[in-house]
Amino acid sequence: MSTRRKLVAGNWKMNGSLVANEALVAGLVAGLGEVACDVMVCPPFPYLAQLRSLLAATPIGLGAQTLSEHPVGAFTGEVEAGMLRELGCRYVLVGHSERRSLFGETDAAVAAKFVAAQGAGLVPVLCVGETLAEREAGLTEQVVSRQLQAVLDLAGFAAFTSALVAYEPVWAIGTGRTASPQQAQAVHAHIRGLLAAGNEAVAAGVSILYGGSVKPQNALELFGQEDIDGGLIGGASLVADDFLAICRAAN
Ligand code: PEP
């Protein structure tokens, strides 16, 4: 049994409104007493300031869904790492599969974002995962290794003392199709093994979250796996009772 503390993160994607966010946070806070794991939420950029204030007196951490790899300057529409820090973010997702597939983020860009995040004192949550075609072609480990290696090449192994990894099979995100606990555990162990090859202590300490249609019904078995240290939750993080039930499964 690992001693790593479990963390459950909510990725709100492009959802929310001032009114809905307030109700969701009120629902979460009301049920937090029974939650023992770390919890954080990642709202869309425009709501970070609102969430900073709503979460101020709570143990819930704040994260952003992406960031720019660039320093401040002429990058219209982008958001720089230090701005996220100033708005109270502790975490930031990097390389979410929707960013990679819909917005063309390459492994190199994801690695640069990871470094930019750490440069501003943010904890990056590096998202990796294979598509269905890649899994069916037997390429899962190869794809995940390539995505992780791009970050290791730029940031080094020690960078993972203040970072998290999220394994999110693309075919399981928002589809209702979850990796079995055994499938997920196998990839998590592979990721930890890659990190252990460079630094065993870092590998033993890094939290690796699972994401992809986690629901109250499947969370307990997933989080019970040796190398699964919590979850990155999309759809179910928008419903307070479901998100809380998933957090309790990580207790
Ligand atoms: C996600 O957005 O990272 C995710 C895992 O979504 P869902 O839980 O809806 O599959």
Q: Report if residue 248 sits inside a domain.
A: no
Q: Please, which pLDDT band fits residue 3 given cuts at 50, 70 and 90?
A: confident
Sign, Cα dihedral of 219, 220, 226, 230: positive
Residue nearest to atom 2 of ligand 1 (CA): 234
Classify residue 117 by its DSSP letter. Answer: H
Q: What is the mean pLDDT of residues 105-116?
A: 98
Give yes or no: 96 in active site.
yes
C-alpha of residue 74 to centroid of ligand 1, in Å: 32
Give the chain's domain count: 1
In this prediction, residue 1 carries a pLDDT of 65
In this prediction, residue 223 carries a pLDDT of 97
For the CA of 93, the nearest atom of ligand 1:
3
In this prediction, residue 61 carries a pLDDT of 98
SS3 40: strand
- Domain containing residue 65: CATH number: 3.20.20.70
Q: Report if residue 21 sits inside a domain.
A: yes
Residue of 8, 13, 215 to test ligand 1 pocket, by largest number of atoms within 8 Å of CB: 13
C-alpha of residue 211 to centroid of ligand 1, in Å: 6
Q: Report if residue 131 sits inside a domain.
A: yes
Contacts of 119 (CB under 8 A, 6+ apart): 81
Q: What is the mean pLDDT of residues 12-22?
A: 98
Q: Report if residue 202 sits inside a domain.
A: yes
Contacts of 60 (CB under 8 A, 6+ apart): 25, 28, 29, 32, 39, 40, 41
Give yes or no: 70 in active site.
no
**Which domain covers residue 71, as residue numbers?**
7-233
Q: Report if residue 35 sits inside a domain.
A: yes
Q: What residue ranges line ligand 1, CB within 6 angstroms?
A: 11, 13, 168, 173-174, 211-214, 232-236
DSSP alpha helix (H) spans, 87-215 = 97-103, 107-119, 132-136, 140-155, 181-198, 200-205
* Mean confidence (pLDDT) of the chain: 97
Q: Please, which pLDDT band fits residue 2 given cuts at 50, 70 and 90?
A: confident
Q: What is the mean pLDDT of residues 207-230?
A: 97
Note the pLDDT tens digit of each residue in 45-102: 999 999 999 999 999 999 999 999 999 999 999 999 999 999 999 999 999 999 999 9
Q: What is the pTM of this model?
A: 0.97
Q: Which of 80, 98, 105, 168 is catalytic?
A: 168
Contacts of 57 (CB under 8 A, 6+ apart): none
